[in-house]
Each structure stands twice: as C-alpha cells, then as structure tokens.
Amino acid sequence: MEPALQETFLMERYWPGAGRADVATAEEHLCRAAGELSRDGIPIRIVSSTWVPADEVVLTLFEAGEEDDVLEVSRRGGYPFDRMQRVEVVTEASRRWRGYDEHVRYQAR
C-alpha cells in the first residue's frame, strides 16, 4: 500500500517578467520531477499552481509526506523558489467535514 500524502505545502516564487509559457514549462518540469519521485516510492502530488501576473508571483500547492520531498521536486525540476511553508487548505468539503454545513457569506469591508 502506498504511503498517504499527509501534509500540504505552498511554494512561492517571485518571478518578474514571467509569461504564460514560462509558467507552463516550469509546471511541466515540476510534474515530471514529482512523477520521478512517486515512481521511486515517495508520494508527492502537485495540486495546483496559481500565476498572479500583476504581482509577478507563482504559487504552487503540493501534497507530500514531508517538506524534504517538496524540496527534492524543486531541485529535480530546476525550479527556484523564494518561500515554502506548510499550509492548510480550506475547501467546501473540509468545511463540511468540520461540521460547517451552511454556506458562509462573506461581505466586503
């Protein structure tokens, strides 16, 4: 049985001048590196990447057993980053799991 992906990590890269093609190529390299690690028995998954062109930032969300696994994907993928940290992602499913069955309404302040 494959080990469970237990932690979620957010990698942040400040990337001035990056374009859509740059981000897509970087994502391909990271996916290839994550696939290599998974084949080696180290489960890791790239959940999503978000490119914020106005801020020149790319945020990539990973699920992995430990931080070192994410660092290895970055190394193998040739992808420098500025910051990485463990995060908790809140989704509709996780809110429901915690007992928040009603939709939360947010108001602008």
pLDDT tier at 3, thresholds 50, 70, 90: low
pTM over 0.85: no
pLDDT of res. 85: 96
Q: CA–CA separation, 102 vs 107, rounded Å? A: 16
Mean pLDDT calculated for residue range 57-75: 96
- Quick one: DSSP state of residue 16? T
20-39 helix and 67-77 helix, angle to the nearest 10 degrees: 120
Residue 1's pLDDT band (cuts 50, 70, 90)? very low
Select the more confidently predicted residue: 16 or 91: 16
pLDDT band, residue 6 (cuts 50/70/90): confident
How far apart, in whole angstroms, are the C-alpha atoms of residue 57 and residue 12?
A: 7
**Nearest alpha carbon to residue 73 among 51, 44, 104:** 44
Domains, the chain: 7-97 (3.30.70.3090)
